[in-house]
Structure 1
């Protein structure tokens, strides 16, 4: 397939106000915001796209590290805006769209589809304590579990002599897009022109994922063709459903830009919403939590000490128990909508805005970033409280929720 004219940015105007706020914060730190990958693209940078689709999957993990198994699929989709996309990752996804638009115009690869895979596979390069540095490299490095055939995993003997995955016996999925080494050997490219095809680089990995998705026939702006391509990437119907849901949300503007170099904090998921529990266990937990909240509320009214509500175990950002071969599905659909309830009133709930402000505390940037991070924290609080108190009613409960975030 030859090179074609550049497609327009898809959904570029869909950025929500919060994305603008976070983008302004990024500019205050000296970041340039979204990279304009359409400038200065030379013919040598345009990748070759195979005329036939790859037969080997890109990833074979049934339980990718980017998905919090406690929150489930619904919880993942519900927290897209507050989760954020690192600046380096967002630029890499946009560049992948640009390069593939030149390489294979008929493919119509949207950046948001690549981004959705990045979200599911590694939370945009932030699983297992990783973070993307300013050049887009996942540090200290993202590695899956050995594909040794145990616990339902696929068995894939070493194909790279441990060069990519540091294991000379079995292969491990590597990098933000979780390529298995054998597939990376066929599809991997040096998109950032640093002289190395590095699966730990979000730039190289995102463009390589775009090549994988565009190989063969199909128009990826068509949900049916996109589903076929994503299932080749990871052979799981539940995986496909989640990726397409996230892709559609990103396309509609349900995302924010966040700074590089920060690994996401755990998302708090209470037992009443924990999708790893049975419906009966979740129902019992919800009743217990409701009773504890009522008792705490009554204690506050009478100025008597009250017992705190049940503790909330950490959810998102943790590493779920890995699955295996690409043939199975691992994302159980939650029987109830997943939300992230606010913590108990005795502890101020953390927000990304607050975490960022803490990071620049006692620096010259603090007074510059505070208006933006305060606004971000407020919007995050609104989002979380509307999950717990739909439509903000009753007002008393909504106000109490917002108070836990300091508003």
Structure 2
């Protein structure tokens, strides 16, 4: 298990020297102590993991903030590499894997599963204009919409008097892993030993998410075990499917490490992929994009083809090749130039070259057309002209 994970890490961390990254990571784990999941601080090096799974979900948002609703599943998965994972987030996910591996060896929590949840929940701490600082803090802070039961949202009355989520009427999901306050209080851990259990700190949040996922029985290195744990985290099946696809892509090395302190733009690049539009509207947008990318008739095809193909090919091939001292390649240039010139509407013809023949493209073409060939059958016409010129 361990060797396989290290191979994935080495494969995907091309932007950071491995020795430096692993050295810093190992030193931090050796020199730090971590709080347990209870209210008091523990003196051990690993967090406590409950033997019973949590009944209450960690996240209840139907459409998490890390996903552009217009891009949908395909847009999210297709842009994982270009979207990237901030260095602080990647460190936090690997840290969670290591700590939970020591705390609960049977859980087999992979870093990529925690990372997938981080991507879906908050785009690794970068949703709503946030960025992740070098010490892993989401700034200015990630807060979900009030869970007031409206518009299909769950209804969760305030459980923290607004201390965690800044709302004393309804609970809101908080931080890069989007914990609801009541669940956060059950699993919160001071992973980076800074004296605070901060849901906006991705170190604390990632390890706390690992505690939640590993609580109770289950082997998270299997698809069945991972699916069951993620379903507890958020009861939406579409959420589970998306997280598992992102996790598998990360495990296969489909990610890049990006700098901290940068927020990211929407992953949507085209209206034809906008999932908020109807299928008919997306098809219409696709046709419009295709038409916009076509060269205007008579411009690129005619002028460029005629001028570039006819003049350049005809002049270079005809002059260089037809003078008598040209080479086969010069003559071929004339032939190709003549074809392009003919297709584009150019008038300058290239001569055969090679052996110094004075037969021009236009003359060869005229002879082939006189034999009954049509300009509509370019393959046969070209073969005939080539035979004459050679």
TM-score w.r.t. structure 1 length?
0.68
- Whether the aligned pair in 1 keeps the contact of 2:46 and 2:103 (CA below 8 Å) is yes
What corresponds to 1:225 in structure 2?
Answer: 225
- Whether the aligned pair in 2 keeps the contact of 1:23 and 1:33 (CA below 8 Å) is no
Relative to structure 1, the CA distance from residue 200 to residue 297 in structure 2 (aligned partners, 3 Å threshold; closer, same or farther) is farther
- Whether the aligned pair in 2 keeps the contact of 1:16 and 1:253 (CA below 8 Å) is no
- Whether the aligned pair in 2 keeps the contact of 1:16 and 1:256 (CA below 8 Å) is no
Unaligned runs of 5+ in 2: 34-42, 305-390
Distance in 1, matches of 2:177 and 2:106, equals 23
Asked if 1:172 corresponds to 2:185, the answer is no
- Structure 1 position 301, deviation (Å): 5.0
Q: After the TM superposition, which residues 13-162 of structure 1 pair with which residues of structure 2 at under 5 Å, given as runs?
A: 13-15=7-9, 19-20=13-14, 22-23=15-16, 35-36=25-26, 39-40=30-31, 44-162=44-162
Relative to structure 1, the CA distance from residue 297 to residue 185 in structure 2 (aligned partners, 3 Å threshold; closer, same or farther) is farther
- Whether the aligned pair in 1 keeps the contact of 2:11 and 2:253 (CA below 8 Å) is no
Asked if 1:12 corresponds to 2:10, the answer is no
Distance in 1, matches of 2:3 and 2:267, equals 31
What corresponds to 1:293 in structure 2?
Answer: 293
- Structure 1 position 33, deviation (Å): 8.9
- Whether the aligned pair in 2 keeps the contact of 1:45 and 1:191 (CA below 8 Å) is no
Relative to structure 1, the CA distance from residue 285 to residue 92 in structure 2 (aligned partners, 3 Å threshold; closer, same or farther) is same
Q: After the TM superposition, which residues 201-216 of structure 1 pair with which residues of structure 2 at under 5 Å, given as runs?
A: 201-216=201-216
The alignment partner of 1:61 has SS state of: coil
Q: After the TM superposition, which residues 192-203 of structure 1 pair with which residues of structure 2 at under 5 Å, given as runs?
A: 192-203=192-203
Q: After the TM superposition, which residues 354-365 of structure 1 pair with which residues of structure 2 at under 5 Å, given as runs?
A: none
- Structure 1 position 298, deviation (Å): 6.2
The alignment partner of 1:96 has SS state of: helix
Distance in 1, matches of 2:4 and 2:64, equals 27
Distance in 2, matches of 1:180 and 1:204, equals 14
- Whether the aligned pair in 2 keeps the contact of 1:34 and 1:91 (CA below 8 Å) is no
Query: Which structure's relative contact order is higher, taking Cα pairs within 8 Å and 6+ residues apart?
Result: 1
- Whether the aligned pair in 1 keeps the contact of 2:68 and 2:266 (CA below 8 Å) is no
Relative to structure 1, the CA distance from residue 156 to residue 296 in structure 2 (aligned partners, 3 Å threshold; closer, same or farther) is farther
- Structure 1 position 291, deviation (Å): 1.4
Runs of 4+ in 1 over 6 A off after TM superposition: 31-34
- Structure 1 position 294, deviation (Å): 1.2
- Structure 1 position 156, deviation (Å): 0.7
Unaligned runs of 5+ in 1: 1-6, 305-407
Distance in 1, matches of 2:17 and 2:243, equals 28
Asked if 1:184 corresponds to 2:181, the answer is no
- Structure 1 position 272, deviation (Å): 1.2
Distance in 1, matches of 2:11 and 2:299, equals 40
- Structure 1 position 209, deviation (Å): 0.2
- Whether the aligned pair in 2 keeps the contact of 1:147 and 1:153 (CA below 8 Å) is yes
Relative to structure 1, the CA distance from residue 176 to residue 33 in structure 2 (aligned partners, 3 Å threshold; closer, same or farther) is farther
TM-score w.r.t. structure 2 length?
0.70
- Structure 1 position 17, deviation (Å): 6.8
- Whether the aligned pair in 1 keeps the contact of 2:77 and 2:245 (CA below 8 Å) is yes
- Whether the aligned pair in 2 keeps the contact of 1:125 and 1:138 (CA below 8 Å) is yes
* Structure number having the greater helix percentage: 2
What RMSD in Å do the two structures reach over aligned CA positions?
Answer: 2.3
